Chains A and B, each alone.
Chain A
Amino acid sequence: MSDQLKLVVDRIKCDGRGLCAELLPELIRLDDWGYPIVDSGNVPKHLLPLAQRAVEDCPVLAVTLRRAEVKR
């Protein structure tokens, strides 16, 4: 088991509001149309509270935190 978390954006739900990128510029930047490009790595511990807030604040609930899959 791993307690590493990754940020995932559901591209169908996402409305390109860019709120997540305002909250978490460290991991999320916006493309030219305002849609998020998410860092594919694990979320560092110190950014977890902000990542959580991005999940809660996305107006259309498109951001989720998923447990990273571990290769065995």
Chain B
Amino acid sequence: MPDTLLWYTTRGAGAVTLILLSSVVVLGILSALRVQTARWPRFLTTGLHRNLALMTLVFLALHIVTAVVDPFTHLGWAAALIPFSSYYRTLWLGLGVISFELLLAIAVTSLLRGYLGHNTWRAIHWLTYAAWPVGVIHGLGTGTDTWSAWMLAITAACVAAVGVAIILRLTTGSTDPLASARATFRTAVDRREVR
């Protein structure tokens, strides 16, 4: 029965990846919002964000490797690395590949943040807002378990959590008490540079 074991692992790891990734996205938004309480300092949010992100990659790797290695699927490595090259559920699997590659780029650039500088890192980090929904759609489209009650509940909870976090982020203004003063300062500096 090792084949079915691989298949179950693929599905399970996919579900775990969705949960982890969604928590990472929520934590990332919370740290951008500078959420903090007396018992929850912000470095805890940042630290959890980072560690769970690395864990997400581990489960994502497990999800991909078990899917490819499974003799039943005949996927082959190309299908796992080149979007839309798979004969099997071409579109849905391709979305998964895209999401995976975006996430990999986001993770690698985060580890190299010190060398890339803040602006480059941040620009690439914004890709999360593409990677996450593409990953969710991949799960909905290709998932064997999509319509089972537990998987529906997991997907709905993840979408709700990230949705609420995004709305919070969109509706919360800058939490920097000196934001307007700094903006004025920056425009002043910019003007001087143009001259």
- Verify if B177 is at the interface (C-beta below 8 Å from A): yes
* A22–B177 touching, CB < 8 Å: no
Q: Contacts A13-B118, A17-B34 given: A57-B178 contact, CB under 8 Å? A: no
Chain B residues near A53 (CB-CB < 8 A): 43
Main secondary structure of the interface of B (DSSP, over half): helix
* Bound CA–CA A57/B41 (angstroms): 13
* Bound CA–CA A53/B46 (angstroms): 11
Chain A residues near B47 (CB-CB < 8 A): 57
* Bound CA–CA A53/B177 (angstroms): 25
Q: Which of A35-69 contact B (CB under 8 A)?
A: 35, 53, 55-57, 59-61
* A61–B34 touching, CB < 8 Å: no
Chain B residues near A5 (CB-CB < 8 A): none
* Bound CA–CA A55/B41 (angstroms): 17
Partner of A56, one of B34, B114, B176: B114
* Bound CA–CA A69/B31 (angstroms): 35
**B114-131: contact bitstring with A at CB < 8 Å (1 yes, 0 no)?**
100110000000000000
Give min CB distance, A19 to chain B, whole Å.
5
18 pairs across A/B with beta carbons < 8 Å? A15-B176, A16-B177, A16-B178, A17-B176, A19-B43, A22-B41, A22-B42, A22-B43, A34-B176, A34-B178, A53-B43, A55-B114, A57-B46, A59-B31, A60-B118, A61-B114, A61-B117, A61-B118
* Bound CA–CA A33/B31 (angstroms): 19
- Verify if B113 is at the interface (C-beta below 8 Å from A): yes
* Bound CA–CA A8/B130 (angstroms): 36
- A interface list, Cβ under 8 A from B: 13, 15-19, 22-23, 33-35, 53, 55-57, 59-61
Partner of B42, one of A17, A35, A56: A17
Chain B residues near A56 (CB-CB < 8 A): 113-114
Q: Find the A residue at minimum CB distance from B114.
A: A61
Q: Find the A residue at minimum CB distance from B46.
A: A57
Give min CB distance, A27 to chain B, whole Å.
15
Partner of B177, one of A33, A55, A59, A61: A33
Chain B residues near A35 (CB-CB < 8 A): 178
Give min CB distance, A2 to chain B, whole Å.
22
* A57–B177 touching, CB < 8 Å: no
* Bound CA–CA A16/B183 (angstroms): 13
**B47-59: contact bitstring with A at CB < 8 Å (1 yes, 0 no)?**
1000000000000
* Bound CA–CA A17/B46 (angstroms): 12
Beyond A15-B176, A35-B178, 4 additional contacts (C-beta under 8 Å) are: A16-B178, A22-B41, A23-B43, A34-B178
